[in-house]
A and B are shown apart, each in its own frame.
Chain A
Amino acid sequence: MDNNKNIISFEGHIDKNVVDNILHELKLKLKILNLEVLTRKRIYSASVECLDNIYRHSEIKTNRDKLSEDYPSRFIVKEAQEGYTIEAGNIVQNTEIKDLKGRLEKLNELEPVGVNSLYKDTIMKSAGLSDKGGAGLGLIVVAKTTRKNLFYDFQPLNNKYSYFILKVNIL
């Protein structure tokens, strides 16, 4: 992969400060690229939700320090043949996979109009209930930013954990 096309490429532990720093840098770099308003905002918006998701997972205290060193979280924004690609990777518990996969599959089956109504319904149902984006609003927001499918993969690491990769393309 041509590294020059990377806008942001981070690998390592992602905590609150790292999220803030990455987003600050991303904002500056997107400004310089002089993109259409909508593209710029969609890249930023999907990035916030992806990073928040990685950060939330990094909060889960488990006995997996060695695993996190071997398979660090990663967040990449790069130019693609068409548009831009955001790639986010982090360790998840195997017990989460079924639910996560279900939500991703459901989003991929929907047309943009359907994603939009799901967004509205989810906001209305969960208004004020959670500050964790727990109802999956984050993923819906990511799906809203792309007209293509969400690409995802779960690579098994051991009997408890897998590495989750989410890729989206923004035109």
Chain B
Amino acid sequence: MEEIKIEATEKSPRVYFDPENRKFELEGNSRPENVREFFYPIIDKLREYFEDIINNGVEDNQNNPVKFVFQLEYFNSSSAKFISDILILIGNYHKKGMPVKIYWYFDEGDEDMMEVGEDFSEMIDIPFQMIMVSQ
């Protein structure tokens, strides 16, 4: 499977997905012009990949979780829905046996971003590794 590499802009986040190394990263600001066009292909690709993992990767899976890094500075309400879609998808495949590790970054003092991470974690019932970035 091909990787995804989307550079960050002032309005849209950096997206990096490396299937071979089982790593997905979403970083920066998110209020893309057309939020659906931005997130749908990413969500489709992840779904396809998770399906492969479940079907083919059982032996590799035990000690090799898929890593997700969310290091968002800011996201708007429309993006929130799609970020939540990604997390729900991760949650669903985790239930089917896909091992995952989710890292949620927030700036020191940004209680809101920390809380959103905690809420998302609760929502999909997977503990997040919460990482505070000092200013």
Provided the pairs A16-B33, A120-B123, A128-B85 are in contact, do residues A37 and B80 lie with their beta carbons within 8 angstroms? no
Nearest CB of chain A from residue B77's CB, rounded to whole Å: 4
In this complex, how many residues of chain B approach chain A with their Cβ under 8 Å: the count is 29
CB nearest to B80 among chain A residues: A123
The main secondary structure of chain A at its interface with chain B is helix
Give the residues from 11 to 46 in chain A that come closer than 8 angstroms, CB to CB, to chain B. Answer: 16, 20, 24, 36-38, 41-42, 44-45
CB nearest to A36 among chain B residues: B109
The main secondary structure of chain B at its interface with chain A is helix
Provided the pairs A38-B112, A131-B36, A138-B77 are in contact, do residues A48 and B84 lie with their beta carbons within 8 angstroms? no
Inter-chain contact A48/B31, CB cutoff 8 Å: yes
Give the residues from 66 to 112 in chain B that come closer than 8 angstroms, CB to CB, to chain A. Answer: 74, 76-78, 80-82, 84-85, 88, 107-112
* Distance between Cα atoms of A41 and B111 in the complex (Å): 10
- Residues of B with Cβ closer than 8 Å to A? 10-11, 31, 33-36, 43, 74, 76-78, 80-82, 84-85, 88, 107-113, 115, 119, 123, 135
